[in-house]
């Protein structure tokens, strides 16, 4: 074990030496799995972050100092996330960490960031019901994805909803919110079916046959899919094989982006939907520049961009702005400076950081095209602020979050007037 400490120390001193000529570098931690089950999604985010940091350095660094990325591999192992977060903050002294994908990895590192008072940017859409002082949520909350998606389906005349999800917290909460919302919109209980499958479910024959039956009652039906990563390819393959077209029963997904579609032949899936805050196909100068930079950086024109990459793009630029505004990388100062920061997103708008540490984003609904891209068919007129505590769940309806000075609370109960969870 001593050997380990010694080599870590050696490594650390070696790394600091490399940039010494331009003043002490500012270190940025990248905490994304590069092996294990989540590597499939997270490796791209590591590369995107490295690209952003390289660009920032070419533009003169930050506060006149170069940025230095510290990359670690938590290997899709949740305790290791916490362990490496601790090492990044306490050992490598990073100013901020960009990382995590699953909710459980975020939950695992939360106490570490709280204890060591550092900053985490979390770039993935999630179930909400959380707001922590040290975390900035740049992915979508349910109101920035799920609810507008269902609104769109209702407007399209969909009367029956099959909510299919992987059995974990994000789909559970999202479906709970959606069910409450749909009932409130006058959809009958018997027209809503909720179905959960395990992680990595690969045999979808039965469920797809069930969906086909569900959709053949003469009334328009749709599938709302919160099926997670790995299970999507076999799911869509089976949909295509059984000949369920988007015109008969559209599937709207919240976890399927360009990256997931890269593994599927999308020709039979044209018209199925996804709700995100960004699509690679969005036609704006910012997005074109980003895609070109990405293709150059990664050395391949085949690689796609996706929503969590945009979230990191926004988050990173917000952090840069906040550090410049605060004039320091000190966590407390940057956390305060971050609220209210507004930076351009890739869809032509200006995203800003709310007092609840969630950001404003447009909501886009896209249809799958035969080239594996999405085409936007609907979007919100303005930007929507992430709602951390859902109004559609009784237990979180009275909660709000505001991290600005006098309140400084992530779960303030407006009914009792107290900040929950405080000692």
Partner 1 sequence: MKASMTRLIDLRLGLFLAALFAVTVLAPLATTLSSSSPFNLPSYLIPLMGKYLCYALLAVALDLCWGYAGILSLGHGAFFALGGYAMGMHLMREIGARGVYANPELPDFMVFLSYDHLPWFWWGFGNFGFAAVMALAVPGLLAFVFGWFAFRSRVSGVYLSIITQALTFALLLAFFRNEMGFGGNNGLTDFRDVLGFSLSAPSTRIALFVLTAICLAACILIARAITISKAGKVLVAVRDAESRTRFLGYRVESYSVFVFTISAMMAGLAGALYVPQVGIINPSEFAPANSIEIVVWVALGGRGTLVGAAIGALVVVALKSWLTATFPDLWLFALGGLFILVTLALPNGLLGLLDRFRRAKPAPKEVPA
Partner 2 sequence: MLLRLMTLCLALLLPSLASAQTLDELVGQLPDGNYNDRAALVTRIAATGDPRAASVLDALLEGELEQRTADGRIVRVTGSRNNETAVDVLTGEELGTVARRSTESIRVNNSLRRQIRTALGVLTLRDPDPARRLAAAEAALRSPDADQLDPLTEALEAEQNSTIRTALERARAATLLGTDAPIDARLAAIITLADAPAMTVQSALNAHRADADPQIAAAVAAAIAAAERRQAVWSQAQNLWFGLSLGSVLLLAAIGLAITFGVMGVINLAHGELVMLGAYTTYAVQQVFRAYAPDMLGWSLAVAVPVAFLLVGAVGVAIERGIVRHLYGRPLETLLATWGVSLILQQLVRTLFGPTNREVGTPDWMSGAFQLGEMTVTWSRVSIVVFALFVFFGLLLLMRYSAFGLQMRAVTQNRPMAANLGIRTGYVDALTFGLGAGIAGLAGVALSQIDNVSPNLGQSYIIDSFLVVVFGGVGNLWGTFAAALSLGIANKFLEPWAGAVLGKILILIFIILFIQKRPRGLFPQRGRAAEG
Within a 10 A sphere around the Cβ of 9, how many other Cβ atoms?
11
CB 170 within 8 A of CB 140: no
Least distance to partner 1 from the beta carbon of 102, Å?
Answer: 8
Which residues ranging from 245 to 274 are in contact with partner 2 (CB under 8 A)?
A: 246-248, 250, 259-260, 262-265, 268, 270-271, 273
Give the closest residue to 199 by CA, choosing from 167, 235, 238, 241: 167
Residue 155, classified by CB atoms within 10 Å of its CB into exposed (0-12), middle (13-18) or buried (19+), is: exposed
What's the CA gap between 160 and 215, in Å, rounded?
8
State the number of CA atoms in the 13 A half-sphere of 124 facing the CB.
24
Using CB under 8 A as the binding rule, whether residue 237 contacts partner 2 is answered as yes
Tokens of 23: 């003043």
Residue 136 CB, nearest distance to partner 1 (Å)? 18
Q: Give the integer Cα–Cα distance in Å for 193 and 215.
A: 11
Does the protein bind partner 2 through residue 159 (CB under 8 A)? Answer: no
Say whether residue 407 binds partner 1 (CB under 8 A).
Answer: no
How many residues in the shown chain lie near partner 2 by CB under 8 A? 62
Residue 50 interaction partner, one of partner 2, partner 1, none, beta carbon < 5-8 Å per kind: none
* Strands 342-344 and 350-352, sheet pairing: antiparallel
Number of other CB atoms surrounding residue 95 within 10 Å: 21
How far is the C-alpha of 45 from the C-alpha of 310, rounded, in Å? 10
- Assess 102 for contact with partner 1 (CB under 8 A): yes
Residues 360-399 that bind partner 1 (CB under 8 A): 393-396, 399
Applying the rule CB under 8 A, the residues between 195 and 234 that interact with partner 1 are: 196, 198-199
**In this structure, how many other beta carbons lie within 10 angstroms of the beta carbon of residue 33?**
27
Q: Is 351 helix (H, G, I), strand (E, B) or coil?
A: strand
Check binding of 233 to partner 2 (CB under 8 A). yes
230 binds partner 2 (CB under 8 A): yes
Binding site for partner 2 (CB under 8 A): 34-37, 39-40, 43-44, 156-157, 167, 195-198, 200-203, 205-207, 209-210, 212-213, 216-219, 230, 233-234, 237-238, 240-243, 246-248, 250, 259-260, 262-265, 268, 270-271, 273, 283, 288, 367, 369, 371, 375-378
The site for partner 1 (CB under 8 A) is made up of 1, 4-5, 7-8, 11, 34-35, 71-75, 77-80, 82-84, 86-87, 90-91, 102-104, 107-108, 110-112, 115-116, 129-130, 167-169, 172-173, 176, 196, 198-199, 393-396, 399, 410-411, 413, 418, 420-423
């Amino acid at each position: 074990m001593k050997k380990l400490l010694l080599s870590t120390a050696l490594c650390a001193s070696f790394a600091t030496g490399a940039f010494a000529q331009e003043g002490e570098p500012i270190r940025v931690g990248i905490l994304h799995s590069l092996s294990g089950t989540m590597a499939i999604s997270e490796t791209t985010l590591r590369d995107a972050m490295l690209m952003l940091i390289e660009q920032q350095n070419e533009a003169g660094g930050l506060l006149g100092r170069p940025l230095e990325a510290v990359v670690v591999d938590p290997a899709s192992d949740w305790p290791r996330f916490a362990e490496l977060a601790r090492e990044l903050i306490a050992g490598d002294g990073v100013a901020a960490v960009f990382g995590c994908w699953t909710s459980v990895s975020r939950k695992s590192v939360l106490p570490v960031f709280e204890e060591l008072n550092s900053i985490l940017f979390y770039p993935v859409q999630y179930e909400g019901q959380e707001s922590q002082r040290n975390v900035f949520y740049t992915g979508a909350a349910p109101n920035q994805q799920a609810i507008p998606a269902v609104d769109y389906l209702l407007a399209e005349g969909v009367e029956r909803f099959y909510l299919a999800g992987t059995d974990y917290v994000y789909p559970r909460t999202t479906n709970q919110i959606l069910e409450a919302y749909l009932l409130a919109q006058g959809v009958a209980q018997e027209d809503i079916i909720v179905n959960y499958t395990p992680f990595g479910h690969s045999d979808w024959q039965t469920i797809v046959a069930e969906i086909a039956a569900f959709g053949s009652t003469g009334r328009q039906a749709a599938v709302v899919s919160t099926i997670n990563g790995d299970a999507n390819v076999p799911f869509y393959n089976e949909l295509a094989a059984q000949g369920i077209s988007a015109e008969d029963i559209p599937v709207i997904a919240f976890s399927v982006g360009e990256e997931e579609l890269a593994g599927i032949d999308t020709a039979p899936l044209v018209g199925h939907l996804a709700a995100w805050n960004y699509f690679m196909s969005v036609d704006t100068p910012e997005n074109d520049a980003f895609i070109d930079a990405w293709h150059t950086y990664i050395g391949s024109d085949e690689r796609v961009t996706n929503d969590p990459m945009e979230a990191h793009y926004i988050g990173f630029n917000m952090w840069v702005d906040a550090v410049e505004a605060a004039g320091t990388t000190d966590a407390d100062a940057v956390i305060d400076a971050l609220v209210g920061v507004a930076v351009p997103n890739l869809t032509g708008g200006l995203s800003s950081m709310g007092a609840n540490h969630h950001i404003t984003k447009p909501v886009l609904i896209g249809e799958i095209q035969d080239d594996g891209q999405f085409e936007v068919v609907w979007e919100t007129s303005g930007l929507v602020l992430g709602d951390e505590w859902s109004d559609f769940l009784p237990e979180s309806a009275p909660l709000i979050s505001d991290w600005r000075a006098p309140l400084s609370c992530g779960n303030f109960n407006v009914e009792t007037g107290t900040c929950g969870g405080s000692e």
